[in-house]
Structure 1
Amino acid sequence: MQVNDCVAVLTGAGSGIGRALAVALAQRGCHLALADVNAAALAQTAEQVRAEGVRVSEHPLDVANRASVAALPQAVMAQHGQVDLLINNAGVALGGNFDQVKTEDFDWLMAINFDAVVCMTRAFLPLLKQRQAARIVNVSSLFGLITPAGQTAYCASKFAVRGFSNALRLELQGGPVGVTVVHPGGVATAIATSARPPAGVDEAEHARKLKQAEKLLRMPPPRAAEIILNGIERDKPRVVVGNDARILSWLERLMPVNYWRLLPGIATQKTN
């Protein structure tokens, strides 16, 4: 798929991988319909990519609001007249073991990380099917491949994105719409450090865990965006971003039950 002169709808465009993807797409001549819950951050991204000379529309959006998602295709079509690429990138994180996480917090995360992917896909699929070549790109995570303790909700959402994407790809096979699922490893974004803490957890302990997580977030978002876009342009069904994600993905396939026994040693080596 060549993205030059295409129109991409991108959620979570206000920061991190989303902003880097917006810039990389614009540099390739792709017009953009950018969405984010943070209108100020969204405006900053839009200003940055307009310098590349592409057409850009801003859509402040809570992806967990189904009515807002359902109305988005009409707004995008009014501005751009077509949609060739849908990138479901918006996501949040939630720390804590399962018995520490409130039901409403678990549901909040699932609504953004998984339900929104389904709703966005349902909303834009009819428009994508009208194109000769189109693609849906769903951003899962390394934690859609492996399952660390303390990430029950996040892993559940990202494994759901992976399963949904893989099944949808088979259903759409033979038509104009391809599906790519993306598994980023340690990309230097704010998703880990801004994770919602579980109720009742000691603040100092939570801060310590966030600091540990931050040490593993090393890849610059622009590098991650380039890897993802290269995968899109090559019509790859799965894109694993980063050596850490590739190694751990391989290890999980080799030892699907017992792989975690090796990970404390690997993590220690990576942070020394």
Structure 2
Amino acid sequence: MKRLDLTDRTTVITGAASGMGAEVARLLARRGVRLALVDRDGDALRALTGRLDGAATAHVVDLRDDDAVFATAATIRGEHPRINALITCAGSSMLGTLQQLTMEEMRWLADVNLWGTVSITKALLPALLDEPAAHITHLASVYALAAPAGRIPYALSKFAVRGFSEALRHELEDTTVTVGAVYPAGVRTGIILHGRYAATIDPAVAARAASAQAAMYHTEPRDAAERIIRATEQRRARTMIGREARLIDLLTRAAPSGYWRVMRKPLREATDTTTPIS
């Protein structure tokens, strides 16, 4: 498969105001790639765009709003007539057990992580299909390979992103557009520390669990961003980021119904949202 050349075209990045999305934007801007950056945090997005020396346009939108997403996609197409890459980094996290979480809380995360990804992909697909070669990179998670306790809404949404990516890749196999998913483990973006938790959880307990999870993260955002860009240029279908992701990928293949016996102990504190603070 021919390597994708991102120069002289536009790459659209969601979740671009912070975390891995912002790092991907910075690295691509330094290479002279045109960018359309999407995020709901207008202040942070405009601040980032202003530091990229005119290489990017900012598009503020809540990806849960389908009408706004399609309107934004139309604006992006008007400003960037040649789009050959979409990288979806937007997402959030949610702590809590099924008994602690409400349906509304779980639906909120699915709307952000899954339906926001589906919506922007559907809205921009016609533009990508107009190109001689294009690629879509969806940010999944190591928790799209293995589903831990205490992370039902997050694992649910990320497994669904994985399924969406694979089905869409098969659907587009006779077109010029390829699709891939990236599976990061332990990237130091702060997503877990700034994510949400069930309203029924003691904030101190949630903070303890989030801190325990964050302490397990080892990959720097810039390193993850470089891997995401490489996966997009190489039009890879499946990319693991971090040693833990590769190990969990092997573990779930070897023990598809028993991997939790191995993962339970290392994740005990990170998944404990019930034990009171003494």
8 Å Cα contact 2:11/2:84 also seen in 1: yes
Paired residue for 1:10, among 10, 13, 18? 13
Post-superposition Cα deviations, 1:25-84, rounded to whole Å, max 9, x if no partner, equal 11232100001111111012212322xxx6311001101111110101221122222211
Task: Kindly provide the amino acid, as one letter, of the partner of residue 187 in structure 1.
Answer: V
Report the counterpart of residue 263 of structure 1 in structure 2: 263
CA distance in 2: counterparts of 1:267 and 1:213, whole angstroms: 8
1:7-35: per-residue Cα shift (whole Å, max 9, x none)? Answer: 01111000000000101111232100001
Which amino acid in the other structure matches residue 91 of structure 1?
G
Aligned to 2:274: none
Provide the residue aligned with 1:203 in structure 2: 203
Distance 2:148 2:11 in 1: 33
- Structure having the higher helix fraction is 1
TM-score normalised by the chain length of structure 2: 0.92
Preserved contact between residue 73 and residue 120 of structure 2 (Cα < 8 Å) = no
1:117-266 to structure 2, matched below 5 A, reads 117-264=117-264
**Take 2:211 and 2:265, find their aligned partners in 1: how far apart are those partners?**
18
For structure 1, the residue ranges without an aligned partner over 5 or more in a row are none
For residue 123 of structure 1, give the secondary structure of its aligned residue in structure 2.
helix
Structure 1 contact 3–29 (Cα < 8 Å) conserved: no
Residue 30 of structure 2 corresponds to which residue in structure 1? 27
Tell whether 2:80 aligns with 1:80. yes
SS at match of 1:192: helix
| Residues 136-189 of structure 1 deviation map (CA, whole Å, 9 limit, x = unaligned) | 111111111111100000000000000010011011012110001111110001
Query: What TM-score does the superposition give when structure 1 sets the normalisation length?
Result: 0.94
Q: Find the residue that maps to 2:194 and give its secondary structure.
A: coil
Contact 1:88 1:139 in 2 (8 A): yes
Cα RMSD for the two superposed structures = 1.4
Q: Is the 8 A contact 1:189 1:217 kept in 2?
A: no
Preserved CA contact (<8 Å) 2:32 2:55: no
- CA distance in 2 between partners of 1:258 and 1:265 (Å): 13
> 1:266 offset after TM fit, Å?
5.2
Deviations 1:71-123 (A, max 9, x none): 01221122222211111110011110011111111111111100111111111
> Does the 8 A contact of 1:192 with 1:210 survive in 2?
yes
Q: Is the 8 A contact 1:32 1:57 kept in 2?
A: yes
Contact 1:179 1:237 in 2 (8 A): yes
2:35 counterpart of 1:41:
no
Q: Compare 37-46 and 10-19 and name the one that shifted more.
A: 37-46
Aligned pairs, number? 265
1:88, 1:124 → 2: CA distance? 12
Distance 1:136 1:68 in 2: 21
Partner Cα separation in structure 2 for residue 176 and residue 164 of structure 1: 18
Distance 1:173 1:31, change over 3 A: same
Measured against aligned partners, the alpha-carbon deviations of 1:228-262 in whole angstroms (never above 9, x if no partner) come to: 11111111101111111111111111111111212
- Does structure 2 retain, via aligned residues, the 8 Å contact 1:37–1:62? yes
State yes or no: 1:98 paired with 2:81: no
Q: Write out per-residue CA displacement over residues 203-239 of structure 1, whole angstroms, 9 at most, x where no aligned residue.
A: 2211110110110122111100001111111111011
DSSP-derived class of the 1:99 partner = coil
User: Is residue 3–residue 28 contact of structure 1 (8 Å, CA) maintained in 2?
Assistant: no
Q: Unaligned stretches of 5+ in structure 2?
A: 269-278
Find out whether 1:109 has 2:109 as its counterpart: yes
Among all aligned residue pairs of Structure 1 and Structure 2, give the percentage whose two residues are the same amino acid.
35
SS for the counterpart of 1:101 is coil
Amino acid at match of 1:88: T
